Amino acid sequence: MKASDLQERTVDELQAKEHELADQLFALRLQKVTGQLENPAKIRTVRRDLARVLTVLRHKASAAAVGGESNG
C-alpha cells in the first residue's frame, strides 16, 4: 500500500481502513501468541500500513484545521 494511494481516499475510507488494519493486527498478534502464525513478516507489513493510514489521516486533519483557521 502506497501513501499516494491513501491520499486519494476520503477520511471515511481511511478510518474504515484503519479499523480493518487494527483488527487484522490484533488477529495476527493473537496467532503469534498461540503459535499459529505462518508468516511473521505479515505483522510488520500490517503495522507499517496502519502507520501510513494514520499519518495520512493526521495530515488531512491538520490541513483541514489550517484551512478552517484561515477562513475565520
pLDDT tens digits, one per residue of 8-59: 999 999 999 999 999 999 999 999 999 999 999 999 999 999 999 999 999 9
Predicted model pTM: 0.86
Q: Side-chain half-sphere of 33: how many Cα atoms within 13 Å?
A: 6
Check whether 72 has a pLDDT greater than 50: no
Number of domains in the chain: 1
H/E segment holding residue 47: helix 41-71
CB 24, CB 46: distance < 8 Å: yes
Q: What is the CATH number of the domain that holds 34?
A: 1.10.287
The separation between the first and the last C-alpha atoms of the chain, rounded to the nearest angstrom, is 36
Domain that holds residue 20: 3-71
DSSP, res 37: -
